[in-house]
Amino acid sequence: MSGVALAADRATMETLAAYARLKRRRRILLVLLGCAGVAAFLLDLGTGPASISIADAVSALLGLTELSHAREVILWQVRLPVALIAVLVGASLSLAGAEMQTVLANPLAEPFTLGISYAAALGASLAIVLGIGVTAFGGPWLVAGNAFLFALASLLLVQALARFTSAGAETLILFGIALGFAASAVLSLIQFIASAEALQQIVFWSMGSLARADWSVVAILACVLALVAPFSLRAAWSLTALRLGDERAISLGFDTDRLRLLALVRVSLLAATSVAFVGVVGFVGLVAPHIARMLVGEDHRYFLPASLLVGALTVSAASIASKLVVPGIIIPIGIVTALVGLPGFVWLVIRRHRRPA
């Protein structure tokens, strides 16, 4: 073999080894994120006004110790569903945000970019104020069902508009913003005519809060995530190809229109479910995917699971913080994520601005 061929061979082996190291590092990071998520979940279980420690909580859950009846009820009916919902909402919103940023080719996109939060709030307030609903259920289900349908309908409407005008991702975002303004205006109108009591309900609904957690909500969120996530992960290759630009992706044989549509349907389902039951938990869907991207890069085989895990970890941490900031009071989690997420958002904008062209 000639010297040149030998050198080339050595370079190949070295590059293969370096890439293998990179992949291993990413897998280790995923495992660490998973562990951190579990730790945050347990810490979340062991935090709250009632004195149930992590050790108590874990051993009671495993059936090893008996707690007093009151603490048993608190653990099973409050702490556990809240902690699970924190994980599920975080995972859902972050996965949705990751897909959204990829298909819209916009690093500042998140599930609520397309006006979905206002649409959901509008749906909820119609149910609260006028009792108008599109579901057969009453009470809180009417509100959640309405919020879900309005959120989903708004996303589908935006997509239909964009497809009808065969416009690009940027136009889609602008349509979403316009729709959000429209929903917000109608929402103000409803608030204007609402009674003081209903107004208070609307305001509390709009603040993202885990306090509405119960087991049926856990089940619904878990089902939606379990239904959607496998499809997201299966689309990992195509989504990675989309990062090479539309023309490149099409020339590689990917149907980018179909890919976008299916991704946005997944995003809609995840975001609409979570906003319907928990309200607006902002910035998670924006910031968590960026953290995931910094950790494992943009190969979606790693990026999507990492986003999911970072999201779960983030909202779990926010849930813990929401109980600790003011002792004895649980601050709505949407306020916590917004306060922590806003600096993150500003940092992203500045970082983007500084990046050389």
Q: Using CB under 8 A as the criterion, which residues of the chain lie in contact with another protein when the complex forms?
A: 8, 11-12, 15-16, 18-19, 22, 107, 237, 240-241, 243-245, 247-248, 250-255, 293-294, 297-299, 352, 355
Q: How far is the CB of 286 from another protein (least distance, A)?
A: 15
Yes or no: say if 145 and 134 are a contact pair by the CB < 8 Å rule.
Answer: yes
Yes or no: say if 322 and 270 are a contact pair by the CB < 8 Å rule.
Answer: no
Q: How far is the CB of 2 from another protein (least distance, A)?
A: 14
Would you say 194 or 233 has its CB closer to another protein? 233
Would you say 195 or 352 has its CB closer to another protein? 352
Residue showing tokens 């709009």: 206
Would you say 12 or 53 has its CB closer to another protein? 12
Would you say 47 or 307 has its CB closer to another protein? 307
Q: How far is the CB of 294 from another protein (least distance, A)?
A: 8
Least Cα distance to 100 among 305, 239, 276 occurs for 239
Q: How far is the CB of 296 from another protein (least distance, A)?
A: 9
Report long-range pairs for 301-305 (Cβ below 8 Å, ≥24 apart). Answer: 301/233, 301/236, 301/237, 301/240, 302/26, 302/27, 302/30, 303/98, 303/236, 304/95, 304/98, 304/99, 304/232, 304/233, 304/236, 304/239, 305/30, 305/233
Backbone angles phi, psi at 118, to 5 degrees: -70, -40
Q: How far is the CB of 128 from another protein (least distance, A)?
A: 41
Would you say 190 or 241 has its CB closer to another protein? 241
Q: How far is the CB of 230 from another protein (least distance, A)?
A: 19
Q: SS3 for 207?
A: strand
Q: How far is the CB of 317 from another protein (least distance, A)?
A: 24
Would you say 56 or 246 has its CB closer to another protein? 246
Least Cα distance to 75 among 62, 64, 61 occurs for 61
Would you say 107 or 133 has its CB closer to another protein? 107
Would you say 78 or 296 has its CB closer to another protein? 296
Distance CA 214, CA 348 (A): 35
Yes or no: say if 90 and 311 are a contact pair by the CB < 8 Å rule.
Answer: yes
Q: What angle do CA 135, 141, 144 make, to 5 degrees?
A: 90
Strand partners for 207 = 280
Yes or no: say if 327 and 54 are a contact pair by the CB < 8 Å rule.
Answer: no
Q: How far is the CB of 350 from another protein (least distance, A)?
A: 15
Q: Quote the DSSP letter at residue 306.
A: H
Q: What angle do CA 172, 265, 177 make, to 5 degrees?
A: 30
